[in-house]
Amino acid sequence: MSLDSLFNVTIARSTTFPTRVSFGVPLIMAYHTEWAERSKEYYSIDEMITDGFALTDEAVRAATAVFAQNPRPPKIVLGREADRKVMVQVLSPIAGKLKAAGGQDYTVTLNGHAVTYTTDVTPLISEVCSNLKTLLDALTEAVTIVATATTVTITANAVATPFTIFAADPDLIDLENTTTNDAAHGIVEDIMAVRVENDDWYCVILTNNSKAAIEDAALYIETLKKTMIVSCADDEIYDPLVTTDILSLLVTAGYTRTMLMYHHKAGIQYPCAAWVGKGLPQDPGSITWAYKTLAGIDYTYLTPAKRTAIEAKYGNYYTVEAGRNFTFSGIVPANEWFDVIHGLDWAMARMQEAIFGAVMAATKKIPYTDSGAAIIGNAVMGVLKEGSNPNWALFVDDPTIPTPNVIVPLVSTISDVDKAARLLPDVTFTALLAGAIHKVEVSGTVSYS
């Protein structure tokens, strides 16, 4: 005789819960031909080198910036751009900064090779342009250089050979990345293709930091529960009189999901990738994205006027004060803090998962009773409490207010229509954002008595 015939025991497993949305994984978008898939996960630079990437490739330089941080994300998703227009960057020596006496150095670094033209006693901007072209041509890099009376335009010879360039003194030479976005296979289509294969990431990093690519990608990211952090070297960003630069366009559009940093080596060191690497490993909303030191990233010297102009456009920068390099200030073009967007995305996703998990964990069902509705309320409160603990501090936990607070309607007040549809409506909550301190004002008096 089997014991089953006498004592029948059944154990129901309630250990399966919905997959948690990942808020700590970045997506790097780059053009390459190393593999045919649209995405692949990497846990180290060594894995990328094994797959055929070179240390100088855009994808590797961006990934290096991510992995160099401490803490750092455990992995990246590398998305493959199917096509891209050839890179075009324009140097514009600033006429108003030309010294009449001559002896002024104009230094430009192309693919790591620096050239310098020193003006003579009768300096002209046209001479600066023509001589910089001559010096850059002598480097025999895979680019085509055209000089006019006011500009030097550098164009890559092929899509597969992007170049790096920056001016040693941005006060003397304006730089603008004028690379267009491919009409047939643009950055939006590329990100869409990546999402079909792998949508387990939260923040996009662009290696193509042209105005066109950033603007197109920002519009698409705004439709998702994801974000994008980009860096750009276009000098118009810190010009208060310019309203057509990429940062101004993002502000006009009121985007909340893209954060932009001005940096003179945006396409070389990828400070945006380093910023993502530094911030994403932290609990969403638990940190301010200001005052972060980024490993491997040079600071950009900015005059107070330039800082003010960038801040007025709700942009960010990487600077130095008192011997410390740091980011400032962690704001998005819609004049909201990135940590708030990050934290609220987390809260929304975790509430959905907690409610779904409660429904799935029920041994039979959650009854349509006040006690059943309370299960849903407790799931919501659990997320709010998690985000309110002192080590997280996304929300304020203050029982004297009280906050956070969840209100679940009494079943007796719910319409028969909603009950028949098995819909529990009007579950609401209130919570106060904890925020962060970025600036301080102190005043006081001193005396002898």
Sequence-distant (6+) residues with CB within 8 A of 252 are 243
**pLDDT recorded at residue 7:** 46
**pLDDT recorded at residue 24:** 93
For the segment 263-285, what is each residue's pLDDT rounded down to a tens digit? 999 999 999 999 999 999 999 99
For the segment 103-134, what is each residue's pLDDT rounded down to a tens digit? 999 999 999 999 999 999 999 999 999 999 99
CB 354 within 8 A of CB 18: no
Q: What pTM value is reported for the model?
A: 0.91
Q: What is the spatial distance between Cα 432 and Cα 318, in angstroms, rounded to a whole number?
A: 30
Q: What is the spatial distance between Cα 38 and Cα 206, in angstroms, rounded to a whole number?
A: 15
Residue 364 banded pLDDT, cuts 50, 70, 90: confident
Count of CB atoms situated within 10 Å of the CB of 94: 16
Whether the per-residue pLDDT at 339 is higher than 60: the answer is yes
Q: Give mean pLDDT, residues 81-94.
A: 94
Residue 361 banded pLDDT, cuts 50, 70, 90: confident
**pLDDT recorded at residue 6:** 45
The more confidently predicted of residues 62 and 182 is 62
Residue 368 banded pLDDT, cuts 50, 70, 90: very high
Whether the per-residue pLDDT at 359 is higher than 80: the answer is yes
Q: What is the spatial distance between Cα 449 and Cα 446, in angstroms, rounded to a whole number?
A: 9
**pLDDT recorded at residue 20:** 62
Q: Give mean pLDDT, residues 205-211.
A: 95
Whether the per-residue pLDDT at 5 is higher than 70: the answer is no
Structure tokens at 296: 């491997």
Q: What is the spatial distance between Cα 205 and Cα 229, in angstroms, rounded to a whole number?
A: 6
**pLDDT recorded at residue 207:** 96
Whether the per-residue pLDDT at 13 is higher than 60: the answer is no
Residue 253 banded pLDDT, cuts 50, 70, 90: very high
For the segment 383-433, what is each residue's pLDDT rounded down to a tens digit? 999 999 999 999 999 888 889 999 999 999 999 999 999 999 999 999 999
**pLDDT recorded at residue 2:** 57
**pLDDT recorded at residue 185:** 73
Q: Give mean pLDDT, residues 291-311.
A: 96
**pLDDT recorded at residue 72:** 95
**pLDDT recorded at residue 19:** 56
Q: Give mean pLDDT, residues 43-48.
A: 98
Residue 337 banded pLDDT, cuts 50, 70, 90: very high
Q: Give mean pLDDT, residues 157-176.
A: 93
For the segment 254-264, what is each residue's pLDDT rounded down to a tens digit? 999 999 999 99
- Of 20-34, 142-156, 194-208, 292-306, which gets the smallest average pLDDT? 20-34
**pLDDT recorded at residue 182:** 73
Q: What is the CA radius of gyration of the chain?
A: 27
Q: Give mean pLDDT, residues 45-60.
A: 97
Task: Determine phi and psi for 310, rounding to 5 degrees.
Answer: -65, -45
Helix axes of 211-221 and 246-253: crossing angle, nearest 10 degrees: 20
**pLDDT recorded at residue 4:** 55
The share of the chain scoring above pLDDT 70, in percent, equals: 95
Whether the per-residue pLDDT at 250 is higher than 80: the answer is yes
**pLDDT recorded at residue 181:** 80
Sketch the domain layout of the chain as residue ranges.
26-83+183-339, 88-177, 363-449
Q: Chain-wide mean pLDDT for the chain?
A: 93
